[in-house]
Amino acid sequence: MERLRVVGGARLSGTVRVSGAKNSALKLMAATLLAPGKSTITNLPAIADVDYMAELLTRLGCKVEVDNHRHEVSIDVPEKLGHRADYDLVRKMRASINVLGPLIARELIAEVALPGGDAIGSRGLDYHINGLTDMGADINSEHGFVIAKAPNGLKGANITLEFPSVGATENIMTAATLARGTTTIENAAREPDVVDLGEFLISMGAKISGLGTHTIKIVGVKELNPATHATLADRIVSGTWAFAAAMTQGDITIENGRPDHLEMPLDKLVEAGAVITTTKNGFRVKMDKRPIAVDVATLPYPGFPTDLQPMVITLNAIADGTSLVTENVFEGRFMFVNELLRLGAKIQVDGHHAAITGIDQLSAAPVAATDIRAGAGLVLAALVSDGVTIIEDAFHIDRGYPDFPAQLQSLGADVSRV
């Protein structure tokens, strides 16, 4: 069941509820490895990647119970962990690399296959490796694995990241919780997902300050304790629904959405002509006219997120005017544009710039999702096309958007699996 059939022309209207963030839940699950005993992660999204991470933790020796009805997972971590994460699971999602920090901290050895995940460009592990090396780990690559050893334990270090990498910040932060001494991460990632992970670690007994700033300080402790933590709401899913409302000239209330985590995207939607109001437990996006084209440059948080780049390109493709979208994070994100061109969009790509001339309506055609966000962007593009669009490789979408077709149907869209 890897294809979606989307009938264009729907005006989306109604209410959707956003679940926990994929980019946070998977990292929280990996972090439970730091403390023997049972930890529980609640507000869990019902997505395929959660099952992949559950299987990975099971192979490392944990007892994992996913309760999709209650949207939570309990992870019972043993005193002695395995230390090898094999390729057959790691290749399915890049978040698998987040077991590296906890494993090297707990077991002083980790063997993690080089990760796969979405085809959106080079996402090297240099920042992860350099940071852990500064903390005393000996790391090399053999036979497709990152092999890290720290027989004498990890020690605190002053680490400056060349780029505020989310994954590197998270791996260094988790490893530092059990290191000797104090670790400082300069130019740290500021994403809400990083803050969420840090708050979970603090609830486990970690000593961390500076979350949400460019400088995070971690004072190592001897041990951590299991804890229960609720995953924060998914800002990328919230943003996707916000763009869906604007593109279809719709009216969507996004329950559990955090507008404070989406300031730049929501500012762009207001610039495009949307009316956005906060509600008691979320926000509402309403659009009564064709969108106005907006220029966007993706940047690390609090800038415009790269994960919403396909959505803003799609909006601009049917907007009034011309626009320029600049991708500063992942060079491979523009692979999505090739599929959008099949739908009649007028886009020219030059390096990391995409120049877009808006047209009144896209035209239906067979397309294929290349990654999670591209897949969601293609669904939105299909909704503003003139016929029936078939989207191949829709399994990508299921990795990040729980019950996406069902939620679209509840808003008035004609979407089905075929």
Residue 185 has pLDDT above 90, yes or no: yes
* Domain count across the chain: 2
Catalytic residue list contains 67 = no
Q: Are residues 381 and 265 in the same domain?
A: yes
pLDDT confidence bin for 121, thresholds 50/70/90: very low
Q: In this predicted model, which residue has the larger pLDDT, 144 or 47?
A: 47
Q: From the CB of residue 199, how many other CB atoms can be counted at a distance below 10 Å?
A: 16
Q: Are residues 145 and 46 in the same domain?
A: yes
What rounded mean pLDDT belongs to the chain? 94
130-139: pLDDT as tens digits:
999 999 999 9
pLDDT average, residue stretch 63-89: 93
**Where does a domain end: 205, 230, 255?**
230
Minimal CA–CA distance to 256: which of 235, 240, 230, 277?
A: 235
Q: Are residues 185 and 317 in the same domain?
A: no
**Where does a domain end: 230, 256, 279?**
230
Minimal CA–CA distance to 300: which of 150, 409, 194, 143?
A: 194
The pLDDT of residue 91 is 78
The pLDDT of residue 333 is 78
Q: Are residues 158 and 303 in the same domain?
A: no
**Where does a domain end: 202, 230, 258?**
230
Residue 123 has pLDDT above 70, yes or no: no
pTM for the full predicted model: 0.94
The pLDDT of residue 334 is 87
Residue 124 has pLDDT above 50, yes or no: yes
Distance CA 145, CA 156 (A): 25
The pLDDT of residue 309 is 96
217-270: pLDDT as tens digits:
999 999 999 999 999 999 999 999 999 999 999 999 999 999 999 999 999 999
> Which residues are known binding-site members for phosphoenolpyruvate?
22-23
In this structure, the strands spanning 207-209 and 251-255 are unpaired
Q: Where are the beta strands (DSSP E) in 35-137?
A: 37-42, 63-67, 72-77, 84-85, 109-113
Q: Look at residue 291 and give its three-state secondary structure.
A: coil
Minimal CA–CA distance to 48: which of 99, 111, 114, 2?
A: 2
**CA angle, 383 then 406 then 40, to 5°:** 125
The pLDDT of residue 296 is 98
CATH number reported for the structural domain that contains residue 257 in this entry: 3.65.10.10
Exactly one of 49, 118, 234, 398 is catalytic; name it: 118
- Taking phi first (over 0 means left), then psi (-120 to 50 degrees means alpha), and beta for anything else, what does residue 71 get? left
Q: Are residues 29 and 84 in the same domain?
A: yes
CA distances from 261 to 168, 183, 233, 265 (A): 21, 27, 10, 9
Q: Are residues 27 and 131 in the same domain?
A: yes
H or E element, residue 378 = helix 372-383
Q: Are residues 98 and 216 in the same domain?
A: yes
337-366: pLDDT as tens digits:
999 999 999 999 999 999 999 999 999 999
Q: Are residues 212 and 286 in the same domain?
A: no
H or E element, residue 31 = helix 22-31
* Eight-state DSSP code of residue 320: B
pLDDT confidence bin for 410, thresholds 50/70/90: very high
> Which residues are known binding-site members for UDP-N-acetyl-alpha-D-glucosamine?
94, 307, 329
Domain of 252? 4-18+233-417
296-353: pLDDT as tens digits:
999 999 999 999 999 999 999 999 999 999 999 877 778 889 999 999 999 999 999 9
Q: Are residues 42 and 26 in the same domain?
A: yes
> Which residues are known binding-site members?
22-23, 94, 307, 329
Q: Are residues 198 and 262 in the same domain?
A: no
Q: Which residues, including other chains, have CB under 8 Å from residue 202's CB and lie 6 or more apart?
A: 208
- Of all residues in the chain, the percent with pLDDT exceeding 70 is 97
The pLDDT of residue 117 is 43
Q: Are residues 196 and 298 in the same domain?
A: no
- Of all residues in the chain, the percent with pLDDT exceeding 90 is 85
Distance CA 359, CA 362 (A): 7
370-394: pLDDT as tens digits:
889 999 999 999 999 999 999 999 9
Q: Are residues 131 and 276 in the same domain?
A: no
Residue 118 has pLDDT above 70, yes or no: no
